[in-house]
Structure 1
């Protein structure tokens, strides 16, 4: 290696080493549309000399192309990389940028300001230590300013900078600045922030960004960069918290080694520490802490490690290894705050997937306690959550899960909600506490099991779920089938939609939320009847795939048989035995399936009945043949 090469390598090594020991601050910029978030980040990158010459040249060219006045650079172009963003002049996605100064390293998330993309803002805030909330000095405190402030407080960020931007457009008025500070302080007084710092600035002109501005002689506070470089990063908080290691992977390269890998979310662990594996509750001690660089005696929050246990304890992906003297609670019902992020509303009773770290479970919202008005913080009654709304709800999951309150541990207290059919992320949530009933109610073991109840009846219990449009023939076929099964000596029960609404579901209407709850209740009743050993027939429109899948998920494999009574709507409307289509066409019935409310036809039903080709009796016999083929009718009587 030449002398020059050695010097270059030495300089690079020294540069990297200088960065290695700097603290890292993660922060987010948020606020309403066109408040100057992207411009601010672009200027921070420019002022910290984090741009290459070709990037600077491209910025100068793009600024001229976009028509920036004079020689002023348009720093927003450094961040708004998407073509759609440049065309519209807004930020759509979350853009993460890294920069560094002599004192600290930074990762900043530039989040979208438009209300439509509030969900992206939540993503950016989830890992941030500080929020820089941008306020346009001309527009003042807007609805989106309040919404983002409330979300920031929910996510757990306790340090906030209120950057009163575009002061150059209000002649650097101290009166405007003080007025906005007072207005924001009154609004945020109950949000629980530890500290709020107010800075008057112009991201476009550079006032109070890296150095004090001569245009604001009345301001004696810190610059934005001065604040970011010196604000304490509470790294010690997570280390002081109880030890938590969510298991990401069971490492079993050979029969002599079995380790549990993951990133420590809080606390400190040492070899020999007593630990508890949740949710099983089994205890052991840490035998080794293994890393790629060899064994460690001690590991702290944020480190990725593999630990081995002194005992053969059942532990798998999604479990939590915790200190034995302060383990997390385990429960299956919680109070939680949910931020809804999807165009389709969240409906109580519908089953979603809850992803918490490395564990995925089924979850239902059992009750929306209230929705939060982000302007007044008023609690509003609500039966559903729509896009960008925030609600406090009770939820129920299908198994016990270990958790901490979100305010104590983001990793073990936060989660996302995923639609079971589309796999889209539809919501984000923060757990508050376990409901008392989740601790006081336990499953009672039964000595007589479903298999015994079914065997004595000479049949395999199941649900025959008839679905189709009103007038398709569901009830007629189900009635004929039950009579046929009765002549064969089978034990059955028919749950019909109209009959159910005269009894247990008479409190429900026909809104989307009520339809979901209607099917949820029927699914639970069907599950109990299957457990009793019966062949259960259900005749419901059940228009939504999600609820039919929910009913299926309550049963074991092979116990849910979906029967699609496939009838074109024009045929069903001609039959119209109850006169409902005529009322719907006249506007007398709202939310009528097929007319003003959708019907989601089954994609892969076990049985499809074409009522334009088969009579009721033929359809019944065809289903009998299928049931024999599926092994439901295990012997002839």
Structure 2
């Protein structure tokens, strides 16, 4: 009886443990100014979560020598792999590392703090769900701290951890921690960020990183860095309808035509109606094919071949989207961008704009420039210097297809390429579509009515829209929504 009762209690334990683990990895970056301890913090994370293999640990101890008074290895060497990084003691390139706890796995990007390598920081932020912003407790919040916080926000990051590092070097001063926490939270609110967790840490000693630092900081009752990361949320890619930027048209034989690409948002299944942009042609999904099987559905991140039920003209760079929630199509858009090269961005110059598989000619006209010291946007129609963050107007020769970046990171982002040098000179995010008269999403743009075919014919035959037919496109949608619209017209 006793053995049976004991078995009944113990048996569920192995099954319950996996339920606590979040299977979605959290992508995060460390950012901040020079020498704030970003590489050391990640190295400590890797070391204390047992992500450092034995041969790596041996090499770390060998390469570290006697570089600190605590007898600890130089954890930054786990990230700084380039010879120039080790010689200068700085981070130049973005280093990605993987580690895990019992509850979750993580992909962390160590980004450089030097202003010269801001473009590398922007690269790391573009795919992150959370930013760990380091501040040296002695130096406080600097201009580069503000720049990194702003870029991370522009890249859509809404979760911040303010790691006030080297707290041991100011004798664990609570007043200084409170001062810096309040100062950054005011900056975050000005950027529209409300989710900020401030943590006093010593990256070198490991206090409040993986293990708590209550022995040194009894006044701090908050979570450790790892505890915050374990509870953070992963940004969803399905904030808009289905998106498939077409990368290739597949024709292995006369009987098969498929459109290949990676789903950039939403989901699709056979039978769904889709629209091909920018042409506006409509078709139904006949089949979803992957490299080894035919699927019943596809979601964001899946690489698929989409087969339609009719012959339509689709080419590389087009986008296949859901009818009910289409991206914006137009010749002019507003955007925010970060200038990445010494030459900056010249007003009126024509660049190549690349977004996904689509590359187009675009003219760029700056309109305002962010003052990193005050946090204010100042009117500016001149050139944008390197590392500047600006708002611009984009003018295209042919129809461009975008979502707002806050709705979809993939279809709302782009890079600018200098046609003379082929250098990537800027990274940008679409903020809105511009009307012909400069307004945002105004009546200057065509109106799209999505209706079933029979109801569309009825509306057109009634003559209700005859005076504005040149301004309106008729497309199909589900009967329920169409009936609602028809009832409003009848009333």
- TM-score bracket, normalised by the shorter chain, equals 0.7 to 0.9
Residue pairs, 1:74-113, within 5 angstroms: 74-113=74-113
Query: Are 1:210 and 1:223, in contact at CA under 8 Å, matched by a contact in 2?
Result: yes
Q: CA deviation at 1:20?
A: 11
1:432 aligns with 431
Q: CA deviation at 1:281?
A: 0.5
2:60 aligns with 59
Query: Are 2:261 and 2:303, in contact at CA under 8 Å, matched by a contact in 1?
Result: yes
1:163 aligns with 163
Aligned partners of 1:293, 1:101: CA distance in 2, in Å?
Answer: 33
Q: CA deviation at 1:241?
A: 2.5
Q: CA deviation at 1:356?
A: 0.4
1:234 aligns with 235
Aligned residues: 422
1:298 aligns with 297
Residue pairs, 1:144-223, within 5 angstroms: 144-213=144-213, 214-223=215-224
Q: CA deviation at 1:69?
A: 2.4
Write the deviation string for residues 469-528 of structure 1: whole angstroms up to 9, x where unpaired.
xxxxxxxxxxxxxxxxxxxxxxxxxxxxxxxxxxxxxxxxxxxxxxxxxxxxxxxxxxxx
- Which secondary structure does the structure 1 equivalent of 2:410 belong to? helix
Q: CA deviation at 1:345?
A: 2.5
Write the deviation string for residues 64-100 of structure 1: whole angstroms up to 9, x where unpaired.
16x2324211100110111111111110111111122
2:475 aligns with none
Aligned partners of 1:152, 1:375: CA distance in 2, in Å?
Answer: 16
Query: Are 1:109 and 1:124, in contact at CA under 8 Å, matched by a contact in 2?
Result: yes
- Which secondary structure does the structure 2 equivalent of 1:228 belong to? helix
1:37 aligns with 38
- Which secondary structure does the structure 2 equivalent of 1:152 belong to? helix
Query: Are 1:240 and 1:268, in contact at CA under 8 Å, matched by a contact in 2?
Result: no
Write the deviation string for residues 25-55 of structure 1: whole angstroms up to 9, x where unpaired.
1001000001000001111111121222111
Q: Larger % of helix: which?
A: 1
Aligned partners of 1:326, 1:315: CA distance in 2, in Å?
Answer: 19
Aligned partners of 1:331, 1:85: CA distance in 2, in Å?
Answer: 44
TM-score of the two chains, using structure 1 as the length reference = 0.64
1:73 aligns with 73
- Which secondary structure does the structure 2 equivalent of 1:411 belong to? coil
Aligned partners of 1:112, 1:397: CA distance in 2, in Å?
Answer: 34
2:306 aligns with 307
Q: Larger % of strand: which?
A: 2
2:258 aligns with 259
Is structure 2 residue 342 aligned with structure 1 residue 338?
Answer: no
Write the deviation string for residues 269-328 of structure 1: whole angstroms up to 9, x where unpaired.
111001001111100011111112311111111211111111111111111111011111
- Which secondary structure does the structure 2 equivalent of 1:80 belong to? coil
Aligned partners of 2:340, 2:434: CA distance in 1, in Å?
Answer: 25
Aligned partners of 1:407, 1:427: CA distance in 2, in Å?
Answer: 18
The 1:212/1:90 distance shift into structure 2, 3 A limit, reads: same
1:354 aligns with 353
Query: Are 1:251 and 1:259, in contact at CA under 8 Å, matched by a contact in 2?
Result: yes
Aligned partners of 1:20, 1:398: CA distance in 2, in Å?
Answer: 50
Q: CA deviation at 1:216?
A: 1.2
2:132 aligns with 132
TM-score of the two chains, using structure 2 as the length reference = 0.83
Query: Are 1:137 and 1:167, in contact at CA under 8 Å, matched by a contact in 2?
Result: yes
Residue pairs, 1:585-600, within 5 angstroms: none
Aligned partners of 2:355, 2:314: CA distance in 1, in Å?
Answer: 17
The 1:172/1:278 distance shift into structure 2, 3 A limit, reads: same
Aligned partners of 2:103, 2:304: CA distance in 1, in Å?
Answer: 29
Residue pairs, 1:184-583, within 5 angstroms: 184-213=184-213, 214-235=215-236, 238-365=237-364, 367-382=365-380, 383-437=382-436, 440=444
Q: Say which is worse superposed, 414-423 or 248-257, in terms of deviation.
A: 248-257
Aligned partners of 1:415, 1:240: CA distance in 2, in Å?
Answer: 18
2:24 aligns with 23
Q: Say which is worse superposed, 273-282 or 180-189, in terms of deviation.
A: 180-189
- Which secondary structure does the structure 1 equivalent of 2:122 belong to? helix
Aligned partners of 2:388, 2:344: CA distance in 1, in Å?
Answer: 10
Aligned partners of 1:279, 1:259: CA distance in 2, in Å?
Answer: 18
Query: Are 1:147 and 1:375, in contact at CA under 8 Å, matched by a contact in 2?
Result: no
Query: Are 2:22 and 2:104, in contact at CA under 8 Å, matched by a contact in 1?
Result: no
- Which secondary structure does the structure 2 equivalent of 1:400 belong to? strand
Unaligned runs of 5+ in 1: 1-16, 443-637
Larger relative contact order, structure 1 or 2 (CA cutoff 8 Å, min sep 6): 2
Q: CA deviation at 1:21?
A: 7.5
